[in-house]
Amino acid sequence: MPPLTTPDKPVLSTVHERDAEQEAPTQADRSVAGLSVGLGGPAGRFGRFGRSWWTPLRIALAVCTITFGLGVLQKAPCMDAGWDRQNWRPFKAMCYSDIGYLYQERGFAVGNKPFLDTGPYPVLEYPVLTGVFMQAAAELTWLVTGDPKQDLTDKQKRDTAGVFFVVNIALLFACALILVWLTLATARGVAKRRGAPRGQPLDALYVAAAPALAVTSTINWDLFAVALTAGAMWAWAKGKPVWFGILLGLGTAAKFYPFLLLGPLLILCLRSRRMDAWFQATLAGVISWAVVNAPIYLLAKDEWMSFWTFNDERKSDYGSIWYVLKLAEREVADVNTLSMVIFAGLCVSICILGLMAPQRPRFAQLAFLTIAAFMLVNKVYSPQYVLWLLPFVALARPRLRDWLIWQACEVFYWAMVWLHLAGFLAPGQSENPDKIYWFSVVVRLAGTMWLMMVVTRDILQPEKDPVRRGGLVDDPGGGVLVRA
* pLDDT higher than threshold 60 for residue 367: yes
Note the pLDDT of residue 193: 46
Residue 53's pLDDT band, with cuts at 50, 70 and 90, is: confident
Q: Where are the alpha helices (DSSP H) in 48-97?
A: 56-74, 76-81, 89-92
Please state the domain extents for the chain: 55-481
**pLDDT tens digit sequence for 301-317:** 999 999 999 999 888 99
> Residue 8's pLDDT is what?
36
pLDDT for 56 beyond 80: yes
Residue 51 has pLDDT above 90, yes or no: no
Judged against a pLDDT cut of 60, whether residue 37 lies above it is answered with no
Q: Which is higher by pLDDT, 370 or 14? A: 370
Considering only residues 315 and 191, tell me which one the structure prediction assigns the higher pLDDT.
315
Amino acid, res. 139: E
Long-range residue pairs from 267-271, CB within 8 A, at least 24 positions apart, any chain: 267/350, 267/351, 267/354, 267/355, 267/366, 268/354, 268/360, 268/361, 268/363, 268/366, 268/481, 269/481, 270/355, 271/354, 271/355, 271/360
Per-residue CA distances from 270 to 259, 349, 428, 440, 461 (Å): 18, 16, 55, 39, 21
Q: What are the distances in angstroms from CA 328 to CA 31, 97, 203?
A: 39, 28, 40
User: Per residue in 267-308, pLDDT tens?
Assistant: 999 999 999 999 999 999 999 999 999 999 999 999 999 999
End-to-end CA distance of the chain: 37
Best CA proximity match to 438, nearest among 326, 357, 341: 326
Does position 107 have pLDDT exceeding 50, yes or no? yes
Confidence grade of residue 473 (pLDDT, cut at 50, 70, 90): confident
Q: Decide if 316 contacts 331 (C-beta within 8 A).
A: yes
Mean pLDDT confidence for 330-338: 91
- Can you give the pTM of this predicted structure? 0.89
pLDDT band at 23 (very low <50, low <70, confident <90, very high): low
pLDDT in tens, 409-442: 999 999 999 999 888 877 555 566 788 999 999 9
Kindly indicate the confidence band of residue 157, based on its pLDDT and cuts at 50, 70 and 90: confident
Q: What is the pLDDT of residues 198-252, one digit of tens each?
A: 567 889 999 999 999 999 999 999 999 999 999 999 999 999 999 999 999 999 9
Residue 11 has pLDDT above 50, yes or no: no
Tens of pLDDT, residues 380-405: 999 999 999 999 999 999 999 999 99
| Residues sharing a CB contact under 8 Å with residue 256, sequence separation 6 or more, in sequence order | 127, 311
- Return the pLDDT at 10: 34
CB 456 within 8 A of CB 349: no
Contact in structure between 360 and 346 (CB atoms under 8 Å): no
Instruction: Indicate whether 194 pLDDT > 90.
Output: no
Of 17-26, 143-152, 362-371, which has the strongest mean pLDDT?
362-371
- 3-state class of 400 per DSSP? helix
Count CA atoms within 13 Å of residue 365 on its CB side.
Answer: 30
Instruction: Report how far residue 79's alpha carbon sits from residue 99's, in angstroms, rounded to the nearest whole number.
Output: 11
Q: Which residues of 292-308 are buried (b: 16+ CB within 10 A; e: fewer)?
A: bbeebeeebeebbebbe
pLDDT of residue 199: 63
Report the range of poorest mean pLDDT among 101-105, 149-153, 169-173, 223-227.
149-153
Whole-number pLDDT of residue 36: 42
Mean pLDDT (whole number) for 332-340: 92
Three-class secondary structure of residue 220 per DSSP? coil
- Can you give the length of the chain in residues? 484
Q: What is the pLDDT of residue 30?
A: 57
